Structure 1
Amino acid sequence: MFLDVKEFLEELSSVYRDLDRAYQDVAGFYGLSCEGCQDNCCQSPFFVNTLVEHLYLMEGLHALTEAQKAEVFQKANAYQSGYSKTSRPETNFRMFCPLNRDQKCILYEYRPMMCRVYGVPGVMQSPRGGTVEFPGCQRFGSLGKEITRRLQRTEYYQRVAQIEANLRKKLVYHQKYKKTIAQAIIDEEREKALIMRGYDIFEGY
């Protein structure tokens, strides 16, 4: 059995483009820019929360040169080692993402949703009811501006969730998925970490 995942990745790419435009609208409204920021958000733990985002990120990883990939894998292993040894790492662990080089992401176009929404004030409808608000990054806070506009995250989360559901249905894939970017990268070197590689699921992957 073969499943061409291209259509799922194209759908995700469309969501990302729409999200990036919405993000830039809010950032422009406040005059927020990452340029010259000393509090690099890439030192905070960020996660890949869906299988489809993993596959999209790996599209970018596979496009790197062998030397670049070797460097990324080395950094990913060092990152995950430190992460796993840290108490409450989501709060306490700080280390540059293995995809960061000279304070820039080498797979910027492929970065996960969590990276894309971080920075500007946001809001989403909680699946449990009510809304959840996000204050924005430290640089935004340093601007001292009143929050009068937020990035509406709900639509984009819902669209990604639908793509994920459709992909999982096709794959008959029921495992929970949440990994650091480093762990997602490391898994590409492990035969059975994501799926059974002996089972020919992905055409052209």
Structure 2
Amino acid sequence: MSSRNPGRKSDPLASVRIAAALKAAGQTQPGKPASKGGRKGPGVFARLAELYADMENAYAETAHAAGLTCANCDDNCCRTHFKHHTHVEWAYLWKGMLALPEARRADYLRRAREVVDQCAAAQAAGVVPRVMCPVNDDGLCGLYAHRLMICRMHGTRNVLLRPDGQRQVFRGCHRFCGLTDGQPDEAVPTLDRTHFYRRLAELEMEHGGAKGAGASRVSLTLAEMLVYGPPKPQRR
């Protein structure tokens, strides 16, 4: 990764972890499909997939109630500079990467490095990055089944009750706001993220990403998650 990224140093062992993950997945030959299962996958990853499905259903209900669709939108949330915060989602994203043909995976990694550099340049200039996600293929997500939580829930108004009791409210994307402006607050369709976050936190703990005082914290864009390779095993 370019040294122009001031936020995090490149990881020289990323390619080593990618190769090790490919071998562990049974994909020692280019393009060979990854085998199912794995030491940690069947339990945690299966329940993460269920959680994602529940998130999507809740989002669809809220969006439908507001009349929100993404069709012909003049904006694209795939350009939004999102940060992601769990090892389990990072690992699941890489589960999808490892199942791709080698050429496609290499192309996404090339794009990810470019995105990281472009975002770093924007931030150095004091500008919020607006760069297309590296796995966006002409408007379609190339890792759709493995996309991250915020990719599934961004758009509608949502609320989150934090552990300290504070209530956070996201008003929704500009199209959602345009559809609901002028409505009484209690009438605006709202998605409560709280229980989804709690379930994700439980999976993160079980995965091992937040156990012990020495566990590393995650605050990465999707592009950074790809550039740095699969997450390092966390100490339990």
**Residues of 2 paired with 1:103 and 1:168: CA distance?**
34
**Residues of 2 paired with 1:85 and 1:151: CA distance?**
35
- Output the amino acid matched with 1:82: Q
- 1:133 matched residue in structure 2: 169
- 2:226 matched residue in structure 1: 185
Report which structure shows greater RCO (CA 8 Å, sep ≥6). Answer: 1
Within the candidate set 168, 183, 190, 2:208 is matched to: 168
Q: Bigger shift: 88-97 or 15-24?
A: 88-97
Q: CA distance change for structure 1 residues 36 and 75 in 2, over 3 Å: closer, same or farther? A: same
- 2:80 matched residue in structure 1: 44
| Number of aligned positions between the proteins | 194
- 2:58 matched residue in structure 1: 22
**How far did 1:103 drift?**
1.5
Structure 1 position 63 matched with structure 2 position 99:
yes
Q: CA distance change for structure 1 residues 89 and 181 in 2, over 3 Å: closer, same or farther? A: farther
CA RMSD of aligned residues (A): 2.7
**Residues of 2 paired with 1:84 and 1:58: CA distance?**
23
Q: CA distance change for structure 1 residues 158 and 90 in 2, over 3 Å: closer, same or farther? A: farther
**Residues of 1 paired with 2:127 and 2:193: CA distance?**
22
Structure 1 position 157 matched with structure 2 position 200:
no
Within the candidate set 92, 97, 121, 1:85 is matched to: 121
Kept in 2: contact 1:83–1:89 (CA 8 A)? no
**How far did 1:91 drift?**
6.4
Q: Report which of the two structures shows the higher radius of gyration computed on alpha carbons.
A: 2
Q: CA distance change for structure 1 residues 141 and 90 in 2, over 3 Å: closer, same or farther? A: farther
**Which digits, 9 at most, give the CA deviation of each residue in 1:87-132, with x for residues without a partner?**
2799611110001110221111211111111000000102221211
Kept in 2: contact 1:76–1:183 (CA 8 A)? yes
Q: CA distance change for structure 1 residues 7 and 171 in 2, over 3 Å: closer, same or farther? A: farther
- Output the amino acid matched with 2:46: E
**Residues of 2 paired with 1:34 and 1:169: CA distance?**
34
- Output the amino acid matched with 2:220: K
TM, length-normalised to structure 2: 0.74
Q: CA distance change for structure 1 residues 5 and 84 in 2, over 3 Å: closer, same or farther? A: same
**Residues of 2 paired with 1:133 and 1:88: CA distance?**
29
**Residues of 1 paired with 2:126 and 2:223: CA distance?**
13
What is the SS of the residue equivalent to 1:45?
A: coil
- Output the amino acid matched with 1:54: W
**Residues of 2 paired with 1:171 and 1:177: CA distance?**
13
Kept in 1: contact 2:210–2:216 (CA 8 A)? no
**Residues of 2 paired with 1:120 and 1:90: CA distance?**
28
TM, length-normalised to structure 1: 0.85
Kept in 2: contact 1:42–1:100 (CA 8 A)? yes
**Residues of 2 paired with 1:175 and 1:64: CA distance?**
28
Unpaired segments ≥5 residues, structure 1? 197-205
Q: Percent identity?
A: 30
Structure 1 position 107 matched with structure 2 position 143:
yes
Within the candidate set 181, 194, 202, 2:231 is matched to: 194
